[in-house]
Structure 1
Amino acid sequence: MQNEKLAKQLMKKSKTARYERFGHLLSLSALLLIMAIVLGIIVFVASKGLATFFKDGISVKDFFTGTLWNPGTKTPNGHQAVGALPMIVGSFLVTILAALLSTPFAIGTAVYMTEISPKRGAKILQPVTELLVGIPSVVYGFIGLSVVVPFVRNTFGGSGFGILSGTFVLFVMILPTIVSMTVDSLRGVPKFYRQASLALGATKWQTIWKVVLRAATPGILTAVVFGMARAFGEALAVQMVIGNAALMPQNLTSPASTLTSVLTAGMGNTVMGSLQNDALWSLALVLLVMSLFFNLLVHMIGRKGAFKK
């Protein structure tokens, strides 16, 4: 009897093991819930967005190559005016230009914070970067409306609303994201890389340029992609300075629009199930696909960097 009781006690799971099993189940439940939510969002947006083509009979070619956006009306050739090309072009223009403008500033700031003056950088620039991250989008929009738009109008001409104003606003908005991730990438470069380079006779700047930045290239590219993803999906701040004209951009100072600006302006003014509403859901589907593309690109860059290491 005593041996049987002892065997049962030994076979009985301890309190720590039960807690560990509960933790595993809780983590698995959270993971499945997140996966279900993400899958549900994708299915819901896809079903709404594809209704434009399957229910309303809009041609995919007309949607992606058309330049007239006025759902519910027809173009001179008799097709529905649901051309999304102006918004797609506007979104890519402000995103790419903002990334091109912010990347050199971000890399320079990160190099200063990690390689040139780490103490001063951590003391001054780190809080400033964190402050920029915490500023709401509407504040950026108001600043752009009050400062950037008049500056563009007085300097480059035009109304001040357009791709250029949106680029300047997004430049400031995505700069903290790229700076923070670039700093982490530079700090992740092993110290013996720098020591070996200096021991071989390289100067500090040669070490930074030839060794540190090259070793951190995958992380820097990931930071740029994350910044582009935020710029592509930004809505309110861009809407306030770009002009909200669903027209093909003629130049950087002419009023234009993005996918997000058209969505925020029109989603509350349409009837669910109508062509106008379905067309907006199609724009949302394009945004979702681009977000998935940016995430896939980040994953590919990370794998490439890990392979090189």
Structure 2
Amino acid sequence: MSYVSVGDMAQSFSFRRQSFQLKTNINRLGNELASGRVDDLSKRVSGDFTVISGIETSLNTLDAYRMAQKEAGQFADAMQISLGVVQEQSAKATSTLLLSANAASQTQVQNIATDVRQQFDAVVSALNTQSAGRSVFAGTATDKPAIASASSILADLQVAIAGQTTAGGVASVVDDWFNLAGGGFETSGYQGSTTALSAFDIGAGQQADMSITAADPTFRETLKNLALAALVSEGALVGDLPGQAELLERAGDGLLSIADAQTSMRANLGSVQAQIELVSVQTTSEISGLEITRTGLLSVDPYTAASELEQAQTQLETLYALTSRMSRMNLVDFLR
């Protein structure tokens, strides 16, 4: 490094200016090496923060979508598990009820009805499943159970069938209770909202629709047939063995007829789960790409920074050596 003498005061000023610049560079390079990020972002982007601002905005939006995807995924998983319980318990009940045609004693009929009562309880419990404290089958009324308890439903049905003396009569009343507009199920059985839950916004132009409620016809038919058999365990048509056996047989046939609808319901929800997973993977990929781009704009090359830092330190030491020879200044005074 060469220096031109322009008088003692001018020379002193020149040395101090060079010293200040070198110290500033050393501090900047030290900070960049420690943080791995450029110290003067404005200089890096030439004062145009449009790109950085756009990246940050996109990342914030994608982070919000990622949270929505997580919530939607958990909600869908809770639904799918519940549907699995409904289908599994229905299948078990169907197998048990189809044996009722061969039931030859009151004990056999009662045992079958008792088993189905337990399966009815399990299905009701599944339909009252919650995800993160929200009922999944209650529509927009996520703060309450979707349907009344199994005991409450059966108690209402027992009142409704009072006076019926034939299997056909009991079955007709139970069917009306579950399926008639304004019937027992709508007034006291289903406790959720008639307004379906809005679809989850999981991405730009992407929505996950999980609007199934416990009032869905497939669920009504499932509950109706399980309840029809469970009523036998509660004393329906007591003393009429053929009549009770007929109720069990009707219930088994009814459950068998809706097995495909249950499978279709699970398949449709499975498609929604696949959609959530696909969009989630895409979002993660987009976030990764934007973070790489941002890092490229903000980061420094550690080897280049280290080399420049070493060079600046050498220049400062050289300047100090030259200054000290000319003014006999010690290092402490020079670095002040």
| TM-score normalised by structure 1 residue count | 0.33
Q: TM-score, normalised by structure 2?
A: 0.31
Larger of the two Rg values belongs to structure: 2
Q: Which has the higher helix share?
A: 1
